[in-house]
Structure 1
Amino acid sequence: MDLFLSALDILMRWDVALALLVGSVGGVLIGAIPGVGPAVAIAILLPATFSMDPIVGLTVLLGIYGSSMYGGSIPAILINTPGTAVNALTTYDGYPMTARGEPRRALSLAYSSSFFGGIFSVICLILFAPVLARIAPMFGSREIFLAALLGIILVVVAHRGQALMAGALAAFGIFLQTIGMEPVKYSQRYTFDQPFLQGGINLIVVVLGLFALSQAFVLLTAEDERIRTTRLSGGSLFQGMRELLRHPRVASVSAGFGVIMGMIPGVGEFTAQFMSYTYAQRTSKRPEDFGRGASEGLIAAETANNAVPAAAMVPLLALGIPGEALTAMMLSVFYVHNVVPGPGLFQNDMDFVVALYLALLILNVLVLAFLLVATKSLIQVVRIPNRFLGVCILTLSFVGVYSLRNSATDCMLAAVFGVLGYILKRLSLPAVPIILGMVLGGIMEVKLRAGMARVKTPLDMIDRPVSFILFLIIILVLATQIRRVWLDRRDLKEAEWQSNHRSTSFGRLLLRRKSSFLMERGKLQRARRLTWYRRLMDLF
């Protein structure tokens, strides 16, 4: 009880309350604008948070992170354009509801599902906080090194179909982190006698370049579309909670998927959404309605993605290991204020941790209240021209970069990374591994050097229970990835063989049966690939 009151006392400050309000409302507005997203907004605001208290700066960033998905559902439902990338699945059942004249019902259901997912996640984490406090002291230098290594591996494996490129980009991020003065002997690494590289490449410069500037370039080069808005008619914005209560199993399982996937570095909203949506469809009495305006599909998508943000704070706070770019940006706020996330944070500053979770709890209430009042006005946000947004983001980004160290060189470096980010977007390649490579690479280097003082043989790295378990998980993940690649290549060869024998009806029949078998076993990606080959064969 004393811990709760101490955390509540932190949140009662006027600046923290203002940060909660600004973060929640600002996040909804950012999420409702297609093409911007929370990563761009957080990257722009990051330099400004360095002058704030840690709790104030983190509350603003958490507000944007947690509430942007609420706002992203508005254009996804009304105009079939997701406001943020993670709202793409919302369009499957949200827009068909709008098309048949039920936009109020769809929005209300999305708000209620998001609210349930967010509250469920925060309550779970508050209940698990004492467990985390007991587990955290078991992590020493070797354990944190292995956890960071596991984080990078999971990030690479999560980019299925692009794992090799994701690994190369993560390695590039690790290389960027090594540039500058070496932290132990203070020797220069990869500076090539250039003074501006001696201080290293600032993480915030890279973040602003890869996310904010690259998105500005995309918006400036894209054609403006004439976006129509839909009148809100039919139903009440308050009816969604009643409808949500009619599907408690789908809502609770989807929130559970969001919590579990959020705790695993490199997995995040997309995997949680896919698993939740698949579960809801398989257990539904009317699976044929999914993709045509099924309320269960909308509940699964929105509940899962809003349960992730609070859960994603667990590896960040408990181990100091971010699982994605947004939490990596928040980690820099900790470092600027000499607050070190990890085992010591749960031992020495537990009230600070509980205050963050209570802030997330209050955040969800504020966002829901704001959306129920301001939805009609928010619809107009989707009409902002792309090029106007691009110019605003470009200006704010360069102002933010220059304010870091009053350096024009940082602005030039940010522009270089902005062009790199633009190229990656055009090639549909992920930029997140670069950021996580920079953050986790630095953690791995420091912890490996600290841990090697007590390591005499390679087996000494895994001679403790936690390190041994992490090592086994790493081996299991790598083995699973190798098996998955082997199975995909085998199926591809089978499909190619069948395409060479496409004139025979037996070949088509065999491929159909293979595809149906894989669909029954849940191997959706492989089944879709084989179905595509079968359709291609049928054309000939």
Structure 2
Amino acid sequence: MELLVSAAEILARWDVVLALLVGSVGGVLIGAIPGVGPAVAIAILLPATFSMEPIVGLTVLLGIYGSSMYGGAIPAILINTPGTAVNALTTYDGFPMTARGEARRALSLAYSASFFGGVFSVVCLILFAPVLARIAPMFGSREIFLAALLGLILVVIAHRGQTLIAAALAFFGVFLNTVGLEPVKYSKRYTFDQSWLSSGVDLIVVVLGLFALSQAFYLLQGDDEKVRLTPLRGGLFQGLRELSRHPRVAGVAGSFGVVMGMIPGVGEFTAQFMSYTYAQRSSKRPEDFGHGSSEGLIAAETSNNAVPAAAMVPLLALGIPGEALTAMMLSVFYVHNVVPGPQLFQNDMPFVVALYLALLVLNVLVLIFLLSATGHLVKVVKIPNRFLGVAILTLSFVGVYSLRNSFTDCLIAACFGVFGFVLKRLSLPAVPIILGMVLGGIMEVKLRAGMARVKTPLDFIDRPIAMILFLMILGVLALHIRYVLSERRKLKEAKWSARKRSTRFGMQMFRRRDYLSTERGKKVREKRSKYVPRSTGPRSPR
């Protein structure tokens, strides 16, 4: 109880309350604009948060992170265009409801499901906070290194179908982190006698280039689309009543979101599809899924909004981000010399609980805002793409220059912006680069610290948690190799069956030709020709 009171006192400050309001409202607006997304907004705001206190800066970023998915459901339901990438599954059942004239019902149901997922996740993690506080001190340098390595492997494996390119981009991020002065002896690495490389490649510069500038280029090269909005009819509060009729779907979807959010590199997409698949298989009317099913919409929105709070667990407990957005938040900790990890849970537990309470209050504020302002909020989807592109471009360069007042940083950001634009056009992921930079730095420092007491390779995993993490790495790699081999076997079987069918058809034609050339075949042809006379004139069109 004393812990909750201390955390509430931290949130009761006027600047924290203002940060909650700005983050919640701003996140909804950003999420409702197709083509922007929370990554771009957080990348632009990141330099400004460095001058704030940690709790204020993180509250703003958490507000945008947690509320953008609420706003992303608006264009997904109304115009079949997801506001954020994770709202893609919302279009499956949300837009068919709009086509039936039930747009307001779909929006209300999406808001209610998102609210339940967010609150469910925060409550679970507040209850588990004492357990995490006991487990976190058991992690030393070797355990954190293995956990970071596991996170990097999971991030790579999560990009199925693009595993090799994701691994290459992740190691490119690790390489970028090695440029400049190394952290122990401060010797130069990969600077090639260039003074501007001595300070290394800044993470924020890369983030702004890969996410913000690349998105600006993408919006500027496209055409502005005319959007027609469907009139909203009905009450927005009916979604809360409808959600109460499907507690099982909402509870399971929230649980999937919590579990998947705590695993680095997995995130919203896996939680969504697992929840959606479960809801469809357990439904009494599975044929409605994809055609306006309320259960499908609940599963999609509940699971993706349960992830943000859970994604903070590896960040706070181990200092290991699981995705690009939490990697950006990690830089706010470092700027203020607040090191997330086991010591944070031991020495500043009220700060951790305050962050979770901020997420809880955030969900309440967002729901109130959406229920009262949806009629006006839907108009933001009409903002032209090129106007958005120019605004993002301007704000991004201002943010990059404000970091170190360096024109060189602007050029580096522009180069990464072009690189990110190329990745977007090729449908390749940019997230592994950011996580490679962050996790690569953690792995290097922890490996050097852990090797001081290691004499043989087995000494590195001689502790229980280290052994568990090592076995998990082996298990994940084994499962992925099994998956790759099974996919190759299926592909080979498909090619063989297609070849077999074509060969069988050829043999049938060959046998028919041989049969017709025999004496019996000639008699059959002569008999048929009596009843089907050959046409001597031109063929009539069919």
TM over 0.5: yes
Matches of 2:207 and 2:106 in 1, distance apart?
A: 35
Matches of 2:184 and 2:241 in 1, distance apart?
A: 60
**Residue 503 (structure 1) shift:** 4.0
Does 2:496 align with 1:497?
A: yes
Q: Paired residue for 1:418?
A: 417
Amino acid in structure 2 at the alignment position of 1:112: S
Deviations 1:408-436 (A, max 9, x none): 00000000000000000000000000000
Amino acid in structure 2 at the alignment position of 1:110: A
Q: Output aligned runs, 1:332-343, within 5 Å.
A: 332-343=331-342
Matches of 1:490 and 1:500 in 2, distance apart?
A: 15
Q: Paired residue for 2:527?
A: none
Q: Paired residue for 1:128?
A: 128
**Residue 149 (structure 1) shift:** 0.2
Q: Paired residue for 1:84?
A: 84
Q: Paired residue for 1:513?
A: none
**Residue 2 (structure 1) shift:** 1.1
Q: Paired residue for 1:159?
A: 159
Q: Output aligned runs, 1:29-428, within 5 Å.
A: 29-233=29-233, 235-428=234-427
Matches of 1:441 and 1:269 in 2, distance apart?
A: 24
**Residue 236 (structure 1) shift:** 1.1
**Residue 239 (structure 1) shift:** 0.5
Amino acid in structure 1 at the alignment position of 2:128: F
Amino acid in structure 2 at the alignment position of 1:18: L
Uncovered stretches (5+) of structure 2, i.e. residues with no partner: 506-542
Amino acid in structure 2 at the alignment position of 1:171: F
**Residue 232 (structure 1) shift:** 0.1
**Residue 454 (structure 1) shift:** 0.3
Matches of 1:318 and 1:230 in 2, distance apart?
A: 45
Identity rate of aligned residues, in percent?
82
**Residue 205 (structure 1) shift:** 0.1
Deviations 1:456-494 (A, max 9, x none): 000011000000000000000000000000000000011
Matches of 2:393 and 2:494 in 1, distance apart?
A: 47
SS in 2 for 1:24: helix
Amino acid in structure 2 at the alignment position of 1:3: L
Deviations 1:74-117 (A, max 9, x none): 00000000000000000000000000010011000000000000
Amino acid in structure 2 at the alignment position of 1:454: R
Matches of 1:504 and 1:167 in 2, distance apart?
A: 40
Matches of 2:425 and 2:501 in 1, distance apart?
A: 35
Deviations 1:39-96 (A, max 9, x none): 0000000000000000000000000000000000000000000000000000000000
Amino acid in structure 2 at the alignment position of 1:359: A
Matches of 1:31 and 1:477 in 2, distance apart?
A: 33
Amino acid in structure 2 at the alignment position of 1:501: K
Q: Paired residue for 1:511?
A: none
Matches of 1:228 and 1:501 in 2, distance apart?
A: 51
Change (3 A) 1:505 1:301: farther
Matches of 1:86 and 1:244 in 2, distance apart?
A: 21
SS in 1 for 2:81: coil
Amino acid in structure 2 at the alignment position of 1:222: G
Matches of 2:105 and 2:84 in 1, distance apart?
A: 21
**Residue 504 (structure 1) shift:** 7.5
**Residue 498 (structure 1) shift:** 1.3
Deviations 1:182-235 (A, max 9, x none): 1111110000011110000000000000000000000000111111111101x3
Matches of 1:129 and 1:422 in 2, distance apart?
A: 40
Q: Paired residue for 2:452?
A: 453
Q: Paired residue for 1:515?
A: none
Q: Which moved more, 1:497-506 or 1:182-191?
A: 497-506
Matches of 2:390 and 2:231 in 1, distance apart?
A: 30
Amino acid in structure 1 at the alignment position of 2:162: Q
CA RMSD of aligned residues (A): 1.0
Matches of 1:205 and 1:505 in 2, distance apart?
A: 60
SS in 1 for 2:191: coil
Matches of 1:475 and 1:182 in 2, distance apart?
A: 30
Amino acid in structure 1 at the alignment position of 2:194: Q
Deviations 1:381-404 (A, max 9, x none): 000000000000000000000000
**Residue 405 (structure 1) shift:** 0.1
Does 2:518 align with 1:485?
A: no
TM-score by length of 1: 0.93
Matches of 1:503 and 1:37 in 2, distance apart?
A: 48
Matches of 1:297 and 1:186 in 2, distance apart?
A: 54
Matches of 1:432 and 1:120 in 2, distance apart?
A: 27
Amino acid in structure 1 at the alignment position of 2:290: G
**Residue 502 (structure 1) shift:** 2.9
**Residue 499 (structure 1) shift:** 1.5
Matches of 2:503 and 2:68 in 1, distance apart?
A: 52
Matches of 2:392 and 2:257 in 1, distance apart?
A: 31
SS in 2 for 1:185: coil
Matches of 1:162 and 1:502 in 2, distance apart?
A: 31
Deviations 1:349-375 (A, max 9, x none): 000000000000000000000000110
Matches of 1:399 and 1:130 in 2, distance apart?
A: 42
**Residue 501 (structure 1) shift:** 2.4
Matches of 1:197 and 1:181 in 2, distance apart?
A: 9
